């Protein structure tokens, strides 16, 4: 067992070396070049003016005062916008993360929609000019929250497959002796990566080069080509480094084509940097959800019924459904199950990925309800999980490739000191502070997407890995280098990894925690091919030059193509066109046709302290234990898991995008007002990596860890708050207001 | 940001001469002083403030504006002293903990290194509708336009000292401590120096929320004078959503003197709940000469918040404000005080 706050935990069984991230020194010394810093070109600057209403029409827009400013080159509105071709929604075969195409007409569909784009010689002039544009609106009352009058509530047939069912729920519930029921909600949240969204577009001889932070450069290149009406081979996206992404940079937004279109018309490179507040409305985000959960059990805690109906906030024009029942029904027991998801269509922008997009909002209510059930049963919450730990799916009996949930609980509980907990709410105190302990399960499916990668080995013993993958800060450069080094039998320092370029071999989006598993598997397959060229044994230092001499080359490269189990080779073609979402992935939470479930699990423990008078909540410590197959690098893995837990805590207590209900607008759209945890909020986080082997999931035996840590934390915090105070807060975030009420 | 002229005078008289132009209020004047600029430049970028001339006062080489001097009339603190310098001053830390704790818990170290105390007390509200010019309604920004916060998002808005025209919170942490200590402000105008009570510096919003202070356009704050002291049994309690780098949901600056359990003197300034730095006169009156018990403190807090007016999202501030005041008093009582 490895516990404690050491940045580079010593590797246990089935773990690689905790080497440092290859770009870390450059990163902390400010030497990495990010998209908006791309040198040369002296681009024109584009600044967006965004709508002050959430619904209605632009009646008139007077750009003359802006155009009169020295240095303003052009003001685009819906009357003269650059030419673009609409592309369908990403999940409908197109490339747009939000299909509401700005500057195509006077209609406004959400707060902060782009209504004009000012192009000027400098950023400051463009921003100043934008403030001088006079807009008149015809505003209509928006419907912008789940409970607002005027929203449409849909229940699309297409989601039926995701609505898991088993047995006779109504009968099982009616007959059960112990029941709990609650309505839970999670707020809208925004990724707020430190690196702002930006696009720099330049044209040369009919070819378009784009510098833009992207978690999916292949999709961005193909999407930009589609919207510009040119061949995808004429678009080059370059983006080697990102300052955080968290899903916000997942798929192409409408901004790219606006900027590229302006650059084409004006025949000059154009750059747009989205401001912090604009970032709240000009990218996808985590939308709010509401859940009605019912759990019933026998007196020993065995689950008899699980009912879960949810409501998810959506834009009017696109559906981004989560329907996270594949995850929740893979957790416990063999209850009768009834689930249903409702899409709430409102005057909002389209939502999308944000760390554990599905699992975070769906595991929070389940894990809270499990704690409520344990309390109703007068049972230890860990024991309730133990009684309901499973080897197979309650839906269809599918097995798990591996499942170490209770080992995680036992290791984390021992390290945390759970045995010191007096289960009576409000019973533990220190001076004026009420103390509460809470725990919850983390679970994340092991997804995989098709991926390709080229590996080139040189006679001098160095190697190159080339792939159009991405590192938004999680350590993919380092992990892929380690995977290649291990397979090649060379030192990781001798491997150079190139990523973030759409002309490299195609890789899927860096999302769903699938990068290391999918791209790493492609790297391994490429090296397997290289090995066969050398008669099934790669040469080592002593015979390498001789082996290369025999082949008459100084370097040798090959392409690995990874197809997730159960997918057909056509998916590689789709990948190269940047059409990856879902249809061509292998999903860990789907168990069709005898496919086993693939999941990483964890257990999280939280201590809260709440002042008896003023009721502010502080979290002095958290402990999490996780089992996720092979750990390629315990240092980067620990930092991902720790970051996830910190964010989970932050989203339990602080993070929420506030919406002015009457106006349908986000109000706290700055880092000053959108609070997230700072260092002082997280004194101690212990991460335990529980060794686990799962050779079945993929050639590397790797499960995703990027999102695992954030799942369950919010419930652990809420459960601890209940333990400290006896109050059950079912809507996040748990701010002091709710405890003072 | 709109283009502006930039001046950097080296003496106070020149600064005042540059800034003394006709205007309806100090904050809306076309010439604005810049200390650290952490309020002013932010608001200029947001297009909320649009000065045509910015007079940088940090180069004024008048010693008295840069120094902290204990004297017979009390503590004299120059207006160009940075927040960081004051909260790191060992003798002030010892003798006036409420003055240093309130600064230490404000903003971040980077901001405290930049910001000057003159600008600090004049920092402007964080009301989201005030800071975003895309909202039409804000009486403070555009007199007569209405107030979006009344029926909007108002969790962070004031419950004391409000009007039907404006419920914007005074957000600063240091000013509640100054108001509790009966501080005075030394101001230089074109006709010379004057002293005003700190309690008179900020104005209730009433029907003119755009007039925030009693300063005339061009008047320059040169120093703060804190009479009496030392105030060793004093502290600042700030309750906020997160542990650092956040404005107060409620705060209390208290300075007390005890005879056994009896309050010989009690001074309370409240932050995070009112439109101006709030002196809790009513509570002080009830507590002075009484025993400091939790029950007495609660009764005084009840009385102080008796006139509170809440809106849809800020009702909790009344409960929290009272609890914070009680906690601050009890904590001050329990404090170990160096002799
Ligand atoms: C992200 C952030 C977080 C913050 N958090 C907190 C917090 O938690 N608590 C808190 O108390 N504060 C907080 N602040 C506010 C901060 O303390 C103030 O911005 C700062 O103290 C202002 O000082 P300055 O010197 O930068 O003022 P400036 O911006 O230079 O000036 C502010 C105003 O005062 C005028 N002015 C300046 N000096 C004088 C003078 N000598 N005489 C007359 N007029 C003058 C200027 O013209 C201007 O209108 C925060 C600020 C930011 C940006
Ligand atoms: S509370 Fe005051 S500052 Fe805020 S919107 Fe209303 S008038 Fe403007």
- Per-residue DSSP letters for B222-283? EEEEE-S----SEEEEEE-SSSSS---SEEEEEEEEEETTEEEEEEEEEESSBSS-EE-HHH
A725's enclosing H/E stretch is helix A713-725
For residues A521 and A698, the answer to whether their CB atoms sit within 8 Å is yes
Q: What is the pLDDT of residue A40?
A: 72
Those of residues 225-264 in B touching chain A at CB distance below 8 A are 239-246, 249-250
Residue A735: which of B47, B128, B241 has the nearest Cβ?
Answer: B241
Ligand 2 lined by B16 (C-beta under 6 Å):
no
Query: Mean pLDDT throughout A617-628?
Result: 98
A621 touching B (Cβ < 8 Å): no
Closest by Cα among B53, B64, B52 to B188: B64
For residues A530 and A457, the answer to whether their CB atoms sit within 8 Å is yes
Query: Mean pLDDT throughout A194-201?
Result: 97
Instruction: For residues B23 and B40, give the distance between their C-alpha atoms in angstroms, rounded to a whole number.
Output: 17
- Do A653 and B241 lie within an 8 Å CB cutoff? yes
Q: What is the DSSP letter of A339?
A: E
Instruction: For residues B229 and B210, give the distance between their C-alpha atoms in angstroms, rounded to a whole number.
Output: 35
Q: What is the pLDDT of residue A6?
A: 84
Q: Which ligand is nearest to the CA of B178?
A: 1
Q: Are strands A555-562 and A451-458 parallel, antiparallel or unpaired?
A: antiparallel
Q: What is the CATH class of A356-371+378-446+588-741?
A: alpha beta
A668 touching B (Cβ < 8 Å): yes
Q: Are strands A451-458 and A433-445 parallel, antiparallel or unpaired?
A: unpaired
Ligand 2 lined by B327 (C-beta under 6 Å):
no
What residue owns the CA closest to ligand 2's atom 8? B138
Distance from residue A57's CA to the centre of ligand 2 (Å): 26
φ, ψ of residue B18 to 5 degrees: the values are: -65, -35
Instruction: For residues B99 and B225, give the distance between their C-alpha atoms in angstroms, rounded to a whole number.
Output: 12
Query: Nearest-5° angle of CA B45, CA A103, CA A247?
Result: 70
Ligand 1 lined by B236 (C-beta under 6 Å):
no
Q: Which ligand is nearest to the CA of B152?
A: 2
For residues A517 and A697, the answer to whether their CB atoms sit within 8 Å is yes
Those of residues 41-100 in B touching chain A at CB distance below 8 A are 45, 47
Instruction: For residues B254 and B98, give the distance between their C-alpha atoms in angstroms, rounded to a whole number.
Output: 7
Instruction: For residues A271 and A268, give the distance between their C-alpha atoms in angstroms, rounded to a whole number.
Output: 10
CA dihedral A156, A161, A162, A168 (to 10 degrees): 100
Q: What are the angstrom distances between the C-alpha of A442 and each of A180, A331, A710?
A: 21, 10, 8
- Do B245 and A660 lie within an 8 Å CB cutoff? no
- C-alpha torsion sign, points A640, A643, A645, A647: negative
> Is the pLDDT assigned to residue A408 strictly greater than 90?
yes
Q: Which ligand is nearest to the CA of B209?
A: 2
- Do A740 and B323 lie within an 8 Å CB cutoff? yes
Residue B243: which of A432, A615, A681 has the nearest Cβ?
Answer: A681
Residues of A in contact with B245 (CB under 8 A): 678, 680
Domain(s) labelled CATH 3.90.1170.50 in chain A stretch across: 34-349
CB-count exposure of residue A559 (10 Å: 0-12, 13-18, 19+): middle
Q: What is the CATH number of domain A448-581?
A: 3.30.365.10
Q: How confident is the model at residue A584 (pLDDT cuts 50, 70, 90)?
A: low
Instruction: For residues A453 and A643, give the distance between their C-alpha atoms in angstroms, rounded to a whole number.
Output: 28
Instruction: For residues B267 and B263, give the distance between their C-alpha atoms in angstroms, rounded to a whole number.
Output: 10
- Do A128 and B242 lie within an 8 Å CB cutoff? no
Closest by Cα among A451, A518, A407, A481 to A633: A481
Outline where DSSP puts E strands in A3-133.
44-50, 56-62, 72-76, 107-108, 114-120
Closest by Cα among A185, A191, A190 to A364: A185
- Do A736 and B249 lie within an 8 Å CB cutoff? yes
For residues A524 and A487, the answer to whether their CB atoms sit within 8 Å is yes
- Region at A341 (left for phi over 0; alpha for psi -120 to 50; beta for the rest): beta
* Nearest atom (ligand 2) to Cα of B147: 6
For residues A626 and A689, the answer to whether their CB atoms sit within 8 Å is yes
Sequence-ordered list of residues with C-beta below 8 angstroms from that of A205, at least 6 positions apart, any chain: none
Residue to probe by mutation, ligand 1, list B118, B141, B271, most atoms within 8 Å of CB: B118
Instruction: For residues A499 and A519, give the distance between their C-alpha atoms in angstroms, rounded to a whole number.
Output: 11
Closest by Cα among A24, A151, A125 to A70: A125
Burial A313-341 (b: 16+ CB within 10 A, else e): bbbbbbbbbbbbbbbbbbbbbbbbbbbbb
> Is the pLDDT assigned to residue A110 strictly greater than 70?
yes
Ligand 2 lined by B325 (C-beta under 6 Å):
no
Q: What are B141-180's pLDDT values in tens digits?
A: 999 999 999 999 999 999 999 999 999 999 999 999 999 9
For residues A563 and A586, the answer to whether their CB atoms sit within 8 Å is no
> Is the pLDDT assigned to residue A70 strictly greater than 50?
yes
Q: What are the angstrom distances between the C-alpha of A480 and each of A449, A465, A737, B62?
A: 16, 8, 46, 61
Q: List B138's β-bridge partners, or say none.
A: B147
Residues of A in contact with B326 (CB under 8 A): 613
Q: What is the pLDDT of residue A180?
A: 98
Q: What are B100-135's pLDDT values in tens digits?
A: 999 999 999 999 999 999 999 999 999 999 999 999
Residues of B in contact with A741 (CB under 8 A): 316, 319
Q: What is the mean pLDDT of chain B?
A: 97
Q: What is the pLDDT of residue A1?
A: 40
Instruction: For residues A633 and A11, give the distance between their C-alpha atoms in angstroms, rounded to a whole number.
Output: 8
> Is the pLDDT assigned to residue B9 strictly greater than 80?
yes
Burial A627-664 (b: 16+ CB within 10 A, else e): bbbbbbbbbbbbbbbbbbbbbbbbbbbbbbbbbbbebb
Q: What is the DSSP letter of A105?
A: S
Q: Which of A219, A604, A655, A707 is catalytic?
A: A707
- Do B244 and A681 lie within an 8 Å CB cutoff? yes
Distance from residue B165's CA to the centre of ligand 2 (Å): 7
Ligand 1 lined by B34 (C-beta under 6 Å):
yes
Distance from residue B189's CA to the centre of ligand 1 (Å): 21
Q: What is the pLDDT of residue A581?
A: 55
Domain(s) labelled CATH 3.30.365.10 in chain A stretch across: 356-371+378-446+588-741, 448-581
Domains and their CATH numbers in chain B: 234-333 (3.30.390.50)
The 10 Å Cβ neighbour count of residue A574 is: 17
Query: Mean pLDDT throughout A102-108?
Result: 98
Q: What is the DSSP letter of A15?
A: B
- Do B240 and A616 lie within an 8 Å CB cutoff? yes
Nearest CA in chain B to A673: B246
Q: What is the pLDDT of residue A575?
A: 94
Q: What are A10-53's pLDDT values in tens digits?
A: 999 999 999 999 999 999 999 999 999 987 779 999 999 999 99
Q: What are A658-690's pLDDT values in tens digits?
A: 999 999 999 999 999 999 999 999 989 999 999
Based on the residue annotation, tell me whether A707 is a catalytic residue of this protein: yes
> Is the pLDDT assigned to residue A4 strictly greater than 80?
no
Q: How confident is the model at residue A489 (pLDDT cuts 50, 70, 90)?
A: very high
Q: What is the pLDDT of residue A181?
A: 98
A659 touching B (Cβ < 8 Å): yes
Instruction: For residues A471 and A465, give the distance between their C-alpha atoms in angstroms, rounded to a whole number.
Output: 14
**Three-state DSSP class for B331?**
helix
Q: What is the pLDDT of residue A282?
A: 98
Residues of B in contact with A52 (CB under 8 A): 134-136
B336 touching A (Cβ < 8 Å): no
Instruction: For residues A60 and A556, give the distance between their C-alpha atoms in angstroms, rounded to a whole number.
Output: 63
Ligand 2 lined by B139 (C-beta under 6 Å):
yes
- Do A678 and B240 lie within an 8 Å CB cutoff? no
> Is the pLDDT assigned to residue A2 strictly greater than 60?
no
CB-count exposure of residue B264 (10 Å: 0-12, 13-18, 19+): exposed
Distance from CA of B94 to the nearest CA of A (A): 24
Q: What is the pLDDT of residue A3?
A: 46
For residues A466 and A481, the answer to whether their CB atoms sit within 8 Å is no
A679 touching B (Cβ < 8 Å): yes
Q: What is the pLDDT of residue A580?
A: 66
CB-count exposure of residue B147 (10 Å: 0-12, 13-18, 19+): buried
Sequence-ordered list of residues with C-beta below 8 angstroms from that of B71, at least 6 positions apart, any chain: none
Instruction: For residues A495 and A130, give the distance between their C-alpha atoms in angstroms, rounded to a whole number.
Output: 48
Sequence-ordered list of residues with C-beta below 8 angstroms from that of B42, at least 6 positions apart, any chain: none
Distance from CA of A277 to the nearest CA of B (A): 10
Q: What is the CATH class of A34-349?
A: alpha beta
Q: Residue A178: CA atoms inside 13 Å, Cβ hemisphere, count?
A: 18
- The ipTM of this complex is 0.96
Residue to probe by mutation, ligand 2, list B27, B125, B127, most atoms within 8 Å of CB: B127
Angle between the A713-725 and A359-377 helix axes, to the nearest 10 degrees? 30
Q: How confident is the model at residue A582 (pLDDT cuts 50, 70, 90)?
A: low
Outline where DSSP puts E strands in A482-598.
495-498, 555-562
Sequence-ordered list of residues with C-beta below 8 angstroms from that of B220, at least 6 positions apart, any chain: B12, B15, B16, B19, B33, B57, B79, B118, B187, B188, B189
Distance from residue B167's CA to the centre of ligand 2 (Å): 6
Closest by Cα among A486, A485, A483, A479 to A463: A485
Q: What are A251-293's pLDDT values in tens digits?
A: 999 999 999 999 999 999 999 999 999 999 999 999 999 999 9
């Amino acid at each position: 067992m490895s516990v404690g706050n050491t940045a580079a935990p010593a590797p246990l069984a089935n773990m690689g070396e905790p080497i440092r991230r290859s770009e870390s020194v450059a990163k902390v010394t400010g030497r990495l070049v990010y998209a908006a810093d791309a040198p040369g070109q002296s681009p024109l600057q584009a600044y967006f003016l965004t709508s002050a209403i959430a619904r209605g029409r632009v009646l008139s827009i007077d750009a003359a005062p802006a155009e009169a400013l020295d240095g303003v080159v052009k003001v685009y509105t819906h009357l003269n916008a650059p030419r673009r071709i609409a592309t369908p929604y990403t999940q409908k075969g197109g490339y747009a993360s939000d299909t509401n195409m700005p500057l195509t007409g006077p209609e406004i569909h959400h707060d902060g929609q782009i209504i004009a784009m000012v192009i000027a010689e400098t950023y400051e002039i463009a921003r100043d000019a934008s403030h001088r544009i006079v807009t008149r609106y015809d505003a209509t009352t928006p419907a912008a929250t789940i409970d607002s009058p005027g929203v449409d509530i849909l229940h699309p047939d297409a989601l039926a497959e995701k609505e898991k069912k088993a047995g006779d729920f109504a009968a099982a519930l009616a007959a059960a002796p112990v029941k709990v029921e609650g309505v839970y909600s999670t707020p809208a949240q925004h990724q707020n990566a430190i690196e702002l969204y930006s696009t720099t577009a330049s044209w040369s001889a009919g070819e378009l080069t784009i510098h833009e932070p992207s978690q999916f450069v292949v999709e961005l290149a193909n999407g930009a080509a589609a919207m510009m009406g040119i061949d995808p081979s004429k678009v080059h996206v370059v983006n080697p480094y990102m300052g955080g992404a968290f899903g916000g940079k997942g798929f192409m937004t409408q901004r790219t084509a606006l900027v590229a279109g302006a650059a084409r018309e004006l025949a000059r490179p154009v750059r747009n940097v989205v401001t912090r507040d604009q970032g709240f409305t000009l990218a996808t985000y985590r939308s709010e959800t509401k859940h009605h959960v019912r759990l019933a059990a026998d007196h020993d805690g065995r689950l008899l019924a699980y009912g879960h109906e949810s409501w998810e906030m959506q834009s009017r024009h696109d559906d981004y459904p989560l329907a996270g029942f594949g995850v929740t029904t893979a957790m416990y027991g063999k209850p009768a199950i009834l689930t249903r998801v409702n899409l709430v269509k409102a005057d909002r922008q389209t939502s999308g990925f944000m760390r554990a997009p599905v699992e975070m909002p769906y595991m929070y209510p389940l894990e809270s309800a499990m704690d409520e059930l344990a309390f109703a049963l007068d049972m230890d919450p860990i024991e309730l999980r133990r009684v309901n730990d499973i080897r197979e799916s309650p839906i269809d009996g599918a097995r798990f490739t591996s499942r170490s949930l209770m080992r995680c609980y036992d290791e984390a509980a021992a390290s945390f000191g759970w045995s010191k907990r007096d289960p009576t709410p409000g019973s533990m105190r220190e001076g004026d502070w009420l103390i509460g302990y809470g725990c919850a399960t983390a679970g994340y499916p092991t997804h995989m997407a098709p991926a390709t990668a080229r590996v080139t080995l040189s006679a001098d013993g160095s190697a190159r890995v080339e792939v159009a993958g991405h590192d938004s800060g999680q350590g993919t450069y380092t992990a892929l280098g380690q995977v290649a080094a291990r397979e090649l039998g060379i030192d990781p320092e001798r491997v150079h990894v190139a990523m973030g370029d759409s002309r490299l071999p195609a890789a899927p989006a860096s999302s769903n925690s699938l990068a290391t598993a999918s791209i790493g598997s492609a790297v391994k397959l490429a090296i397997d091919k290289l090995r066969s060229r050398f008669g099934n044994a790669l040469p080592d230092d002593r015979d390498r030059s001789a082996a290369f001499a025999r082949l008459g080359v100084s370097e040798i490269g090959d392409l690995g193509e990874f197809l997730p189990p159960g997918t057909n080779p056509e998916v590689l073609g789709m990948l190269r066109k940047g059409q990856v979402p879902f249809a061509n992935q292998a999903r860990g939470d789907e168990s069709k046709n005898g496919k086993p479930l693939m999941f990483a699990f964890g257990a999280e423990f939280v201590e809260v302290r709440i002042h008896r008078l003023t009721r502010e909540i502080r979290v002095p410590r958290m402990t999490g234990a996780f089992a996720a197959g092979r750990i390629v690098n315990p240092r980067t893995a620990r930092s991902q898991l720790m970051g996830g837990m910190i964010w989970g805590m932050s989203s339990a207590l602080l993070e929420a995008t506030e919406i002015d209900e009457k106006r349908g607008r986000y109000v706290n759209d700055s880092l000053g007002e959108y609070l997230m945890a700072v260092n002082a909020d997280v004194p101690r986080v212990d991460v335990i990596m529980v060794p686990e082997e799962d050779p079945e999931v993929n050639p590397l035996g790797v499960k995703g860890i990027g999102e695992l840590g954030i799942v369950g934390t919010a419930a652990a915090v809420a459960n601890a708050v209940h333990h400290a105070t006896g109050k059950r807060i079912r809507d996040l975030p748990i701010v002091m207001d709710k405890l003072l009420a | 940001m709109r283009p502006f002229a930039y001046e950097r005078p080296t003496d106070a008289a020149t600064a005042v001469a540059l800034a003394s132009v006709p205007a309806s209020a100090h904050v809306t004047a076309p010439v604005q002083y810049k200390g650290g600029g952490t309020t002013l430049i932010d608001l200029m970028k947001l297009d909320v403030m649009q000065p045509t001339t910015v007079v940088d006062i940090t180069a004024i080489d008048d010693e008295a504006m840069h120094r902290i001097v204990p004297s017979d009339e009390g503590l004299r603190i120059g207006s160009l002293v940075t927040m960081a310098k004051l909260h790191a001053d060992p003798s002030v830390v010892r003798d006036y903990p409420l003055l240093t704790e309130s600064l230490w818990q404000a903003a971040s170290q980077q901001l405290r290194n930049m910001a000057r105390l003159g600008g600090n007390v004049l920092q402007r509200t964080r009301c989201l509708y005030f800071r975003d010019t895309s909202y039409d309604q804000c009486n403070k920004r555009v007199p007569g336009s209405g107030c979006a916060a009344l029926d909007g998002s108002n969790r962070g808005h004031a419950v004391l000292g409000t009007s039907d025209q404006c419920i914007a919170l005074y957000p600063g942490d240091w000013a509640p401590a100054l108001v509790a200590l009966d501080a005075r402000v030394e101001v230089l105008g074109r006709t010379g120096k004057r002293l005003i009570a700190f309690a008179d510096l900020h104005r209730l919003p009433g029907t003119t929320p755009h007039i925030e202070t009693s300063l005339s356009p061009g008047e320059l704050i040169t120093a703060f004078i804190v009479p009496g002291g030392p105030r060793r049994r004093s502290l600042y309690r700030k309750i906020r959503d997160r542990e650092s780098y956040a404005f107060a949901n409620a705060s209390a600056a208290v300075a007390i003197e005890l005879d056994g359990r009896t309050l010989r003197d009690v001074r309370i300034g409240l932050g995070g709940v009112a439109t101006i730095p709030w002196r809790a006169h009513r509570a002080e009156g009830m507590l002075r000469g009484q025993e400091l018990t939790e029950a007495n403190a609660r009764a005084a807090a009840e009385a102080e918040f008796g006139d509170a007016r809440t809106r849809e999202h800020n009702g909790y501030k009344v409960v929290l404000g009272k609890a914070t005041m009680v906690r601050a008093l009890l904590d001050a009582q329990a404090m170990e005080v160096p002799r």
